[in-house]
Amino acid sequence: MTYYLTVDFGSTFTKLTAIDLAKEDIIATSKAITTVDTDIAKGYENALELLYDKIGERIEFDNIVACSSAAGGLKMVAMGLVEDLTTEAAKRVCLGAGAKVELVLSHNVNKGEVQQIIDKNIDIVLLAGGANGGNKECVIHNARQLAASQVKAPIVFAGNKDAIDDITDILTEAKKDFYICENVMPRLNVLNINSAKDQIKEIFVKNIIEAKGIKRIERKIKQVILPTPNAVLMAAELLSKGFDDESGWGDLMLVDVGGATTDVYSMADGFPKQANVILSGLEEPFAKRTVEGDLGMRYSALGITDAMSKAEISHWHKQGIDLIAEATRRKTDIEFISESDHDYVVDDALAATCIDVAFGRHVGTLKGVYTPMGIMYYQVGKDLSAATVVIGTGGVVISSKDPVAMLKHAAKSDLKPMELRPINPNYMLDKSYVLSAMGLLSLEYPEIALKILKKRIVML
């Protein structure tokens, strides 16, 4: 019998999932408070003892692998030339690699902007800019600014290949830790994310986990190999595409409502569905992730009410609920736990707004133009109207008494007709928090991971 253990070092909890590969199912799960500020091994050991208690014996695991978003996760800055093009391409690379984009910089950066990289304690700098054969002066200027600074973070260059020699000379002379990758936008509106994304993951394993104190745990486990959001992205893509003879679910979306952010994932080509629609703007990846740092149930709670209209705030006020006061309460006390029916109603209202706003930012949009042939539409972003599944995860969604009502805010709405949201999708719940665990398992056993995902993610 082969037992496999996955570990997720989260900012709040360290979560363990024990898997029986022969039975192709989860044996037990456990979690304990993450102790990254002292010794992260303590939180892991506490969770492991709880896991053994649930299993009823101290089994031996043949392999133990982990992902991590502890100590703020993987924090990156995306630097590019034009905000809507190479900067956006760089941002998508960061998000696809499982990072939180703390800073986005465009055009020629100044010393104050470079200082922000230091102040925000950025883990990796992604330096992009210019299609191959295009503008190279901007990335060379930005490389010189980084070279002259006290920035210690590794620098990944993924811009105009014509600038590689200059960039290499500048950063080598400054003794910076840097890596050269393929251009994230080799041609106008063409996205090329894999080279830079793979390099970022390598740096995460090699440098970042050591800097966050997680390296010490590797004597107990095999390796911390992925940022947690990247593991979730891999699981969602596997669930969408399937593996060999085990079919997937096709186009789908996933939303994770957390304390600090709301993450949305989409698995679809997203091409136009109608003959009178023309695709415009930067190419979209099949597996896409966006992170809304102003929408979260604790740290970013006031960002939720800021995103609401006065009419929405007034609607709840008439029902005896002051959403602004409630959001302030949750932001002030990040360890707040809902207990009363009133608290759960507030949670559902705030989370529904997180989902609504985050989906609106993630999905593509249409813009109509009149032509001699009649009205035509330009599509910017992904058409996700054909996504048949919306999966919810995160504590507030899982603990809700009516998660369907909350998740319905992801769907197509007559109030927002130009947003390409899913039309009448099925709603499902990652009630057992299996996504990151199955992303890790899929690295070695993708078919088993897929079977467990299909078994454990439940229809609502």
Chain segment 241-268, per-residue pLDDT in tens: 999 999 999 999 999 998 888 999 999 9
- Residue 246's DSSP bridge partners are 243
As a residue count, the chain comes to 460
pLDDT band per the 50, 70, 90 thresholds, residue 66: confident
pLDDT band per the 50, 70, 90 thresholds, residue 211: low
Contact 411, 424 (CB under 8 A): yes
- Residue 127's DSSP bridge partners are 79, 157
Give the pLDDT score at 267.
97
Give the pLDDT score at 255.
97
For the record, the structure tokens of 49 come out as 């003892």
Domains of the chain: residue spans and CATH: 3-71+212-221 (3.30.420.40), 74-205 (3.40.50.261), 237-459 (no CATH)
Give the pLDDT score at 85.
83
Average confidence (pLDDT) over 342-365:
95
pLDDT, tens digit, 9 for 90 and up, residues 386-396: 999 999 998 89
Total Cβ atoms within 10 A of residue 204: 26
Residue 449, amino acid: A
Give the pLDDT score at 366.
95
Give the pLDDT score at 458.
93
- Cα 231 to Cα 68: distance, rounded to the nearest angstrom: 9
- Cα 286 to Cα 295: distance, rounded to the nearest angstrom: 24
Q: Rounded to two decimals, what is the model's pTM?
A: 0.88
Between 21-35, 220-234, 291-305, the lowest mean confidence (pLDDT) is in 220-234
Give the pLDDT score at 108.
94
Give the pLDDT score at 214.
64
- In degrees, rounded to 5, the angle at the alpha carbon of residue 169 between the alpha carbons of residues 167 and 171 is 65
Q: What is the helix (H) or strand (E) element at residue 78, kind and residue range?
A: strand 75-80
Contact 232, 256 (CB under 8 A): yes
Give the pLDDT score at 234.
95
Higher pLDDT, 229 or 162: 162
pLDDT, tens digit, 9 for 90 and up, residues 297-345: 988 899 999 999 999 999 999 999 999 999 999 999 877 888 899 999 9
Q: What is the helix (H) or strand (E) element at residue 155, kind and residue range?
A: strand 155-157
- Cα 385 to Cα 418: distance, rounded to the nearest angstrom: 11
